[in-house]
Amino acid sequence: MTKEATTAGGKQAAIMPWLAFYPENAPAEVEAPPYRLLGDAARDLAARRGGAKAFTAILPNGMAASLSFADLDRHSDAFAAYLRETLRLEAEARVAIQIPNGLAYPVAAFGVFKAGCVLVNVNPLYTAAEMAHLFADAELSAIVGLNMFADRLDAAMEKVPIPHVVLAEAASLFPTPRRHLIGFVQKYVKKQIPRPGFTSISFSKALASGAAQLKRGANVKAYTSALKPSAIACLQYTGGTTGVSKGAMLTHSNLIMNVAQFLSFTGSDINENDRLLTVLPLYHCFAFTVNFLGFFFRGAHNIVIPNPRPLSNLRKAFEKEDITFITGVNTLFNGLLHEGWFCERPPRSLRMSVAGGMALLDTVATRWREVTGTPVIEGYGLTECSPVLTFNPVHRAKVGSIGVPLPSTELKCVDDEGREVPIGEPGEIIARGPQVMAGYWKQPEETKNVLRDGWIFTGDIATMDADGYFNIVDRRKDMILVSGFNVYPNEVEAVLAKIPGVKECAVVGVPDEATGEAVKAFIVRRNQTLDADAIRAFCRGELAAYKAPRFIVFRDDLPKSNVGKILRKDLRWEGLLEQGLRHP
Query: How far, in Å, CA of 128 to CA of 123, rounded?
Result: 11
Q: Evaluate whether 325 touches 275 at the Cβ level (below 8 Å).
A: yes
Identify the band that residue 10 occupies on the pLDDT scale cut at 50, 70 and 90: very low
pLDDT at residue number 583: 39
Which of 431, 269, 281, 422 is CA-nearest to residue 354? 269
Which of 390, 357, 359, 392 is CA-nearest to residue 375? 392
Query: How far, in Å, CA of 266 to CA of 383, rounded?
Result: 21
Q: Is the pLDDT of residue 580 over 60?
A: no
Q: Where in the chain is the domain with CATH 3.40.50.12780?
A: 38-384
Q: Beta-carbon neighbour count of residue 567 at 10 Å?
A: 13
Give the pLDDT confidence of 64-85 residue by residue, as tens digits: 999 999 999 999 999 999 999 9
Q: Is the pLDDT of residue 561 over 80?
A: no
Q: Is the pLDDT of residue 556 over 60?
A: yes
> Strands 376-381 and 352-355, how do they pair?
parallel
pLDDT at residue number 9: 34
Q: Which CATH number fits domain 486-578: 3.80.10.10, 3.30.300.30, 3.30.1340.30, 3.90.1150.10?
A: 3.30.300.30
pLDDT at residue number 582: 44
Identify the band that residue 480 occupies on the pLDDT scale cut at 50, 70 and 90: confident
pLDDT at residue number 566: 77
Distance of CA 26 to the CA centre of its chain: 26
Stretch among 9-13, 31-35, 73-77, 228-232 having the lowest mean pLDDT: 9-13
Write out 505-518 in H/E/C secondary structure. Answer: EEEEEEEECCCEEE
Highest mean pLDDT among 29-38, 76-85, 323-332: 76-85
Which of 311, 347, 353, 352 is CA-nearest to residue 329? 353
Stretch among 86-90, 95-99, 543-547 having the lowest mean pLDDT: 543-547
Is the CATH code 2.70.98.60 the one for domain 3-31+406-474?
no
- Average pLDDT of the segment spanning 349-377: 88
The DSSP secondary structure of 136-201, one letter per residue, reads: HHHTEEEEEEEGGGHHHHHHHHHHS--SEEEEE-TTTTS-HHHHHHHHHIIIIIS------SS--E
pLDDT mean across residues, the chain? 90
Stretch among 7-11, 199-203, 306-310, 424-428 having the lowest mean pLDDT: 7-11
Q: Evaluate whether 17 touches 469 at the Cβ level (below 8 Å).
A: no
- Average pLDDT of the segment spanning 14-34: 90
DSSP 387: S
Identify the band that residue 11 occupies on the pLDDT scale cut at 50, 70 and 90: very low
Q: Is the pLDDT of residue 479 over 50?
A: yes
Query: How far, in Å, CA of 535 to CA of 544, rounded?
Result: 14
- Average pLDDT of the segment spanning 427-445: 96
Q: Where in the chain is the domain with CATH 2.30.38.10?
A: 3-31+406-474
Query: How far, in Å, CA of 347 to CA of 363, rounded?
Result: 20
Identify the band that residue 382 occupies on the pLDDT scale cut at 50, 70 and 90: very high
Choose between 308 and 217: higher pLDDT: 217
Identify the band that residue 104 occupies on the pLDDT scale cut at 50, 70 and 90: very high
Q: Evaluate whether 300 touches 276 at the Cβ level (below 8 Å).
A: yes
Choose between 461 and 26: higher pLDDT: 26
Q: Is the pLDDT of residue 204 over 60?
A: yes
Which percentage of the chain shows pLDDT scores above 90? 70
Query: How far, in Å, CA of 415 to CA of 421, rounded?
Result: 6
pLDDT at residue number 331: 79
pLDDT at residue number 190: 87
- Average pLDDT of the segment spanning 327-346: 91
- Amino acid identity of residue 259, one-letter, is V
Identify the band that residue 523 occupies on the pLDDT scale cut at 50, 70 and 90: very high
Q: Where in the chain is the domain with CATH 3.30.300.30?
A: 486-578
Which of 462, 440, 414 is CA-nearest to residue 238? 440
pLDDT at residue number 192: 86
Q: Determine the topology of domain 38-384 in CATH.
A: Rossmann fold (3.40.50)
Which of 550, 544, 411, 573 is CA-nearest to residue 486? 544
DSSP 532: H
Give the pLDDT confidence of 491-503 residue by residue, as tens digits: 888 889 889 898 8
pLDDT at residue number 8: 33
Give the pLDDT confidence of 113-162 residue by residue, as tens digits: 999 999 999 988 888 988 999 999 999 999 999 999 999 999 999 999 99
Identify the band that residue 1 occupies on the pLDDT scale cut at 50, 70 and 90: very low
pLDDT at residue number 562: 44
pLDDT at residue number 275: 97
Stretch among 70-84, 205-219, 236-250, 524-538 having the lowest mean pLDDT: 236-250
Choose between 266 and 568: higher pLDDT: 266
Give the pLDDT confidence of 530-542 residue by residue, as tens digits: 999 999 999 999 9
